[in-house]
Chain A
């Protein structure tokens, strides 16, 4: 029993640090979905691009962790704005499925464009922290996990402040509530959407750098699976709801860690999608969402 509890707590620590990365990606998904109702399949690839920005900032420019993560967030924000401007804005009135196909196309373009640019080989992310291991009784946590958790909390608090307490955040909430009414009130919708993409992409990029720090390895296709799973996390918490995405990310990370700790790591992806199916069947609006009845 003691052994079980120890294993359980250990997996909880691993799960929370993995989950906070999912949460960072899921935030972007949820904001973008909330505002233009698009499953941005390219979001996972922005996370990958963020990781590469961080990689080049530390190896080529020799920057430390904090400047590197800031540069990577700024770079990814610009990439996000460009993608929205070039690929999604002309499609705003097109059928939903066409926009989805465009998103898939953008995702492929980023993945294989990066393969062409930086070669498909995985790169070793430099160790920006001396890997200190902390022992808390029988439990083990390392400095990377602490950094991930602290960075994720800082970013989430900042985001919550931006969305809830600034004028720009108010505009974002208005557009996501009712775009037409917001436009009538004089809100520049294009600008708000650009800003949402910038914010979401920046958070994903931060997640990418943190994953690089955690796993020490990045490659151009690293964004596919985490991208899908972050979407699962967003749906789990209730899509379009910001605290929901954070909660969904953490829950997903913990469940995955438990499954790989107690069952087999090959089933962890299946666990994520299993959660998705269950939540969709029993509470499609997500854990924090409210059911809205469809009107004729």
Chain B
């Protein structure tokens, strides 16, 4: 236990150092606005990837509707800050709770399904959420909710990301987390061992959904608007690709996947017509040669993990 705490402290110190370095670079203008935007996008994508990894990687439930929960978070927080004029912090908290609650409501019936059926059901639900938002005039309908102030700063994104990563990392090692891992390995066996599989599946799904809501709130308050077109199934696929690319069930893998894919799309933004083609070919080739993802379900080693923490920023 002591060993673990020591490791956590070192990791935390590394995070503080990384934060200081990046924040300093942003302040002094070494990192220009383009890369600052991408760094923030990386942090948001890490939150999304890590929370999807909790559902898909640790619990083995194949969900591809993450963008729907992100949309809920984005819109809820925007309603709170723009329409009701309440503070941003409250918006973040309510967005997290709202997305988590919806995840709970959706997860309860759908998690009875498994495999491809669950995948398609979550994909469909993600789209239903988006279409419902599209039809609510109060939040702007098809033209989106505009005029959201830019309240997301690098500090917010970074520390929320670190908190989510630590939370999920510790969740994995907790008793409920081990139940989730058991469900992933063999659901029927876990059931016979006395694990309430429904409870833990819904728990993982709810947690994953609520963090997606947080990410959505951060997202809408950085890009000034919440638009239904930002939350299509394309985004769900993006997040899923990050997780699978890094390796399902590997937290460092999800983080690396998120960083790598965000960088790839940032670099390719100069060639818009080739961007998606190169992106898709990269995806296919990676899956052909490394179907288990970059790290499989293993984590990076202790020494490399510290280094990975610094890169995250």
Interface residues of chain A, those whose CB is within 8 Å of chain B, are: 33, 37, 39, 87, 90-91, 94-102, 104-109, 111-113, 115-116, 228, 231-232, 235, 264, 266-267, 269-270, 272-274, 276-277, 280-281, 284, 294, 296
B260 at the interface (CB under 8 A from A): no
B292 interfacial contact with A, CB 8 Å: yes
Q: Which residue of A lies closest to B237 (CB)?
A: A104
The reply to whether A294 and B188 form a contact with Cβ atoms under 8 Å apart is: yes
Q: Which residues of B contact A267 (CB under 8 A)?
A: 131, 135
Bound Cα distance A273, B124 (Å): 5
In the assembled complex, 16 residue pairs joining A and B whose CB atoms fall closer than 8 Å, in A order, are A33-B116, A39-B119, A95-B248, A98-B244, A109-B280, A112-B275, A228-B123, A228-B124, A228-B127, A266-B134, A267-B131, A267-B135, A269-B131, A270-B132, A277-B121, A294-B188
B115 touches A96 (CB 8 A): yes
Residue of A whose beta carbon sits closest to that of B123: A228
B287 within 8 A of A: yes
Whether the pair A94, B124 counts as a contact (CB closer than 8 A) is: no
**A231 x B120 contact (CB < 8 A):** yes
The complex places the Cα of A269 from the Cα of B130 at a distance, in Å, of 10
Given A39-B120, A276-B121, A112–B280 Cβ distance below 8 Å? yes
A104 to B135, CA, bound (A): 28
Residue among A97, A235, A272, A276 with most chain B CB within 10 A: A97
Q: Which of B13-21, B79-87, B105-113, B171-179 contacts A (4 or more CB under 8 A)?
A: B105-113
The listed residue (B113, B128, B135, B292) touching A280 by CB distance below 8 A is B113
Q: Within the assembled complex, what's the spacing in Å between the Cα atoms of A106 and B112?
A: 30
Cβ–Cβ contact A112 & B276, under 8 A: yes
> Which of B128, B284, B292 interacts with A87 by CB under 8 Å?
B284
Question: Which 10 A/B pairs are nearest by Cβ-Cβ distance?
Answer: A273-B124, A98-B291, A108-B280, A94-B291, A105-B283, A112-B276, A105-B284, A109-B280, A270-B131, A102-B287
A266 to B288, CA, bound (A): 39
Residues of chain A with a CB closer than 8 A to B240's CB: 101, 104
Contact of B128 (CB < 8 Å), options: A39, A235, A274, A281: A274
Alpha-carbon distance between A266 and B281 when the two chains are bound, in angstroms: 34
Residue B241 lies at the interface, judged by CB distance under 8 Å to chain A: yes
Distance A105 CA – B286 CA, assembled complex (angstroms)? 10
Q: Which residues of A contact B110 (CB under 8 A)?
A: 277, 280-281
Task: Give the chain A neighbours of B274 by CB distance below 8 A.
Answer: 116
**B interface majority secondary structure:** helix
B305 interface hit (Cβ, 8 Å): no
Rounded to whole Å, the gap between the CB of B33 and the closest CB of chain A is 27
Assess A97 versus B273: contact at CB under 8 Å? Given A105-B284, A273-B127, A281-B110: no
A39 CA to B123 CA, complexed, in Å: 13
B residues in contact with A273, CB < 8 Å: 124-125, 127-128, 131
CA distance A184 to B274 in the complex (A): 45
Please report whether the interface of chain A is mostly helix, strand, loop or mixed according to DSSP.
Answer: helix
Cα distance A101–B284 when bound, in Å? 8
B interface size (C-beta, 8 A): 43
Among the listed A106, A284, A294, which residue makes an inter-chain contact with B117, where contact means beta carbons less than 8 Å apart?
A284
A106 touches B120 (CB 8 A): no
Instruction: Give the distance to chain B from A241, nearest Cβ to Cβ, in Å.
Output: 15
Q: Looking across the interface, which residue of chain A has its beta carbon closest to that of B282?
A: A105
Shortest Cβ distance from B132 into A: residue = A270
B154 / chain A contacts, CB cutoff of 8 Å: none
**A101 and B287 contact, CB distance less than 8 A:** yes
Contact between B280 and A280, CB atoms less than 8 A apart: no
Confirm or deny: B156 has a beta carbon within 8 angstroms of a beta carbon on chain A: no
Expressed in whole angstroms, the minimum distance between the Cβ of B77 and any Cβ of chain A is: 23
Interface residue? B279 (CB, 8 A): yes
Of B56, B273, B277, the most chain A CB neighbours within 10 A belong to B277
Asked if B62 is at the interface (CB within 8 A of a chain A CB), the reply is: yes
- Nearest residue (CB) in B for A108 is B280
Query: Do A97 and B62 have beta carbons less than 8 Å apart?
Result: yes
Please state if A106 and B280 are interface contacts (CB–CB under 8 Å). Answer: yes
Cβ-defined contact, B127 with A108, below 8 A: no
Chain A residues, CB < 8 A from B288: 87, 90-91, 102
Residue in A33, A108, A294 whose beta carbon sits within 8 Å of that of B283 in the complex: A108
Residues of B within 8 A of A116 (CB): 273-274, 277
Query: CB distance B281 to A97 under 8 Å?
Result: no
Query: Taking the nearest CB of chain B, how far is it from the CB of A83, in angstroms?
Result: 10
- Look across to chain A and name the residue whose beta carbon is closest to the beta carbon of B131: A270
Least Cβ distance of B228 to chain A in Å?
11
Q: Tell me the minimal C-beta distance from B72 to chain A in angstroms.
A: 15
Most chain A beta-carbon contacts within 10 A, residue among B135, B276, B279:
B276
